[in-house]
Structure 1
């Protein structure tokens, strides 16, 4: 079943690895590096950090079992939905010293990762969608962190690239299944990804499939927009 796609991957190791990648990258930035545009429209590299730091408010609410209290609090401040929350999180931190935002993210995210690992993949935690397995939530975080690492240009070594893409393909296939997307996905013996939806089909390289699932295909890519839309499930 869909969960079988993920059994070989440790969600907590992936979370640690992508957080460490971002931390190494952020630690080496100068003012120009922080100001550089990211792949997230309208966000600089610094804004991506602000988003990650702000997101820990939600992550901790999940762990503390008070997501509905957080949503009510945000609604009182005129923040409704994830898009509003993301933009609000970034705005809240734009005037703060970047060292302070980085320290906030490091501390809060380390706590999130520790607590999730201690709970274990089969435990449950509170989310906006209701109770959800910790391991699957961690895999969603893994995907988000890997996506944002690519958004800001954090390096990926040649030794880790293949394995990183492989788990990201699996998470994308799982997310499509979980959302009951009207798309069929198969992997060939050559590791290509064959996609079919609404009478259309395409064969993608694994990294192209990953980029489609997170809405990061480059402008001008020749994938039919209808297929690209059907595959977008993690962003």
Structure 2
């Protein structure tokens, strides 16, 4: 496990973020489902549809046939790239009763989480980029779930906020290094200094996390925002 991530348990985080989303989704009425999310063009209901739909990819990774599954979907549905895939999964579920979509996501994600935990952090699974460590893939899922929880406004308690921010900063820094980003990042104890090809900025931890998942603060230099985006 990468040194940045060693102190965190990716499987416990995945469980916690899934539980957060489940509790939030379970509390919604029709107005809540139809409210716009932070994802452009998607309602809160659409975010749930996306989470349910991407289990096709998650479980194909575990089954070892992700290339074949994604190629078949691309061929049959005319999909090119993950953005098209994401929009397709949302469209597929817009006319399905929301209770059914919630149960689909809840059941399939529980199975994904159990299978990944059983395989263990040092195990491997198939991905579109080839074999990849289960523990690291789980951290990517952790970030995905935390990001979408924030997108829909799922609450985070004061007791968990600091620990949640700590692992998100670590995952962001790991993902930048993994993607060979041009951004250089230095920890200043309570903020981060970032340099991207000579363009510098000091970001708070929440601002850094937001930039790594493609939700930069207004006014952040576009060069830095682009260099930091590594998880969305």
Kindly indicate whether residue 31 of structure 2 is the aligned counterpart of residue 32 of structure 1: yes
What is the number of equivalent residue pairs in this alignment? Answer: 231
Residue 185 of structure 2 aligns with which residue? 185
TM-score normalised by L of structure 2: 0.98
Residue 205 of structure 2 aligns with which residue? 206
Residue 222 of structure 1 aligns with which residue? 219
158-167 or 103-112, which moves further after superposition? 158-167
**C-alpha RMSD of the superposition:** 0.9
Give 1:80 deviation, angstroms: 2.0
Cα pair 1:49 1:102 within 8 Å, conserved: yes
Residue 140 of structure 2 aligns with which residue? 140
Deviation >3 Å, runs of 4+: none
Give 1:103 deviation, angstroms: 0.2
Write the distance in 1 (CA, Å) between the matches of 2:75 and 2:66. 14
Residue 56 of structure 1 aligns with which residue? 55
Per-residue CA deviation, residues 14-34 of structure 1 (Å, 9 max, x unaligned), is: 100000000000000000000
Write the distance in 2 (CA, Å) between the matches of 1:148 and 1:36. 14
| 1:5 match: secondary structure | coil
Kindly indicate whether residue 225 of structure 2 is the aligned counterpart of residue 232 of structure 1: no
| 1:4 match: secondary structure | coil
TM-score normalised by L of structure 1: 0.97
Gaps of 5+ in 2: none
Write the distance in 2 (CA, Å) between the matches of 1:222 and 1:105. 36
Write the distance in 2 (CA, Å) between the matches of 1:179 and 1:217. 18
Cα pair 1:74 1:80 within 8 Å, conserved: no
Write the distance in 2 (CA, Å) between the matches of 1:228 and 1:58. 28
Write the distance in 2 (CA, Å) between the matches of 1:57 and 1:3. 28
| 2:3 match: secondary structure | helix
